[in-house]
């Protein structure tokens, strides 16, 4: 769980170390980072990305033009979904999660929910977002 206050953000990186167990029952410590960028005045400049050891594994942002994995052209908000073959979130799929969003707080709430990132409800006094 990440401790995140949904106050307006400019550019922040949150790190979290997690221990996972692989198929051979071996424990590994992994570093997850959540990059949030809302410093642009216009929403189209905002983005969020979840990275595992500096490789994007999920994210949402806006492009004036992009192609989905089927080759179809799109414009607007899209989600970067993980491609098992490439071992990164290189596939771009349209998303409507940000329709009618007008501020940074709504952007954060909707993108974190869409990416299935849970916020820690316990406030430990970590105010490094400001």
Span 67-96, pLDDT tens digits: 999 999 999 999 999 988 899 998 999 999
pTM here is: 0.76
Distance between start and end Cα atoms, the chain: 19
- Answer yes or no: is pLDDT of 128 > 90: no
């Amino acid at each position: 769980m990440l401790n995140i206050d949904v106050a307006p953000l400019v550019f922040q990186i949150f790190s979290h170390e997690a221990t996972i167990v692989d198929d051979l029952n071996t424990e590994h410590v992994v570093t997850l980072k959540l990059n949030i960028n809302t410093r642009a005045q216009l929403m189209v400049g905002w983005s969020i990305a979840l990275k595992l050891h500096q490789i994007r594994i999920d994210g949402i942002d806006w492009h004036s033009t992009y192609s989905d994995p089927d080759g179809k052209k799109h414009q607007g908000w899209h989600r970067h979904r993980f491609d098992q073959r490439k071992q990164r979130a290189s596939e771009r799929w349209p998303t409507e999660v940000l329709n009618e969003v007008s501020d940074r707080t709504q952007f954060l709430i909707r993108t974190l929910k869409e990416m299935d990132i849970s916020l820690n409800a316990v406030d430990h006094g970590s105010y490094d977002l400001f």
